[in-house]
């Protein structure tokens, strides 16, 4: 992967709050809400109550829901929920949003806009959860080694 794609993936983990969880494996073993799971053999498949009206199976660095893991595991022929598998799924999702070229070119605002429906923490996601500002994500992206045009 190139530096911009790596920085974009790191920015997603920053945005989702997984990479900053104390004791985590750079976010790869984080359940929604910030607790940790201990096996990468499979998606942890734990339904977490977030608040009234919101339960989620989101897990891993990119907070992937159980049902999406099952789909991508089959589609990409993945063996497990390891960091490599989680990265492969995130890259595939970015590809499906037609954002890979924007990331390669440093057009991160456009890439964020194209991917915002995938990650609740991104600006404009619209899931009624905490959303980060575009400015904070662009700043994080650059601090994580990404370049802008």
As a whole number of angstroms, the distance between CA 60 and CA 16 comes to 10
As a whole number of angstroms, the distance between CA 116 and CA 133 comes to 12
Strand partners, 48: 56
- Determine whether 16 is an active site residue: yes
**Of the residues 16, 52, 66, 96, which is catalytic?**
16
Give, to the nearest 10 degrees, the angle between helix 3-16 and helix 83-96.
100
Question: If you write DSSP's letter for every residue of 58-73 in order, what string do you get?
Answer: -BTTTTB-HHHHHHHH
**Whose structure tokens read 């400015």?**
135
Which tokens sit at 114? 């194209």
- Which active-site residues does the annotation give? 16
């Amino acid at each position: 992967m190139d530096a911009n794609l790596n920085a974009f993936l790191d920015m997603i983990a920053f945005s989702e709050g997984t990479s900053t969880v104390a004791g985590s494996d750079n976010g790869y073993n984080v359940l929604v809400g910030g607790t940790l799971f201990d096996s990468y053999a499979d998606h942890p498949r734990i339904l977490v109550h977030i608040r009234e009206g919101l339960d989620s199976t989101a897990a891993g660095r990119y907070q992937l829901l159980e049902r999406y893991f099952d789909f991508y595991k089959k589609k990409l022929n993945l063996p497990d929920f390891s960091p490599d598998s989680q990265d492969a799924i995130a890259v595939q999702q970015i590809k499906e949003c037609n954002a890979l070229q924007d990331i390669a070119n440093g057009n991160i605002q456009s890439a964020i806009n194209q991917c915002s429906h995938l990650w609740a923490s991104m600006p404009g996601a619209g899931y009624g959860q905490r959303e980060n500002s575009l400015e904070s994500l662009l700043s994080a992206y650059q601090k994580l080694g990404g370049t802008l045009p």
